[in-house]
Structure 1
């Protein structure tokens, strides 16, 4: 069993989580995200964390989503391209040779 399996099982069964990243703020209620490319650093990272914590204060806040435009999808793809190309395992983006 992978080392992360108990954490995954807890996230799914106890917290209703799915996918990654799952963050559990002090409220104990799991949130999925934030999904942001590139990840902020420094003061911007602190501000984002404060926003996530603020959202978690509303017990019935379920989702806020920004639709992705074609330009957004290109930005995301370009940002992840080095990572996808560097992976050693076979994927759709990095097929076996």
Structure 2
């Protein structure tokens, strides 16, 4: 029989792997953004995005850009593909995080 701890451990493992996938896709998007959309790269503090002194308000700008799907009007298909991937992985990771948090309180 599967215990609640096993289910919680499996959920944490899957959530951790998907968070790593999301962060890797986000890093890849920022790298592509430097050439495809230099103005947005500067607006979201692309060079300092993953540093400890990164500006959170500028990082939220990227969140709203991807959330509202403003990238659909961009001409570079690689850039739009990366934005779609980051958006999908963010939704998946956030959902898994909340399910894992809910399961932790239930178990």
TM range (shorter): under 0.3
Question: Which TM-score applies when normalising by structure 2?
Answer: 0.25
**TM-score (norm. length: structure 1):** 0.27
Q: Which has the higher helix share?
A: 2
Q: Name the structure, 1 or 2, with higher relative contact order (CA <8 Å, separation 6+).
A: 2
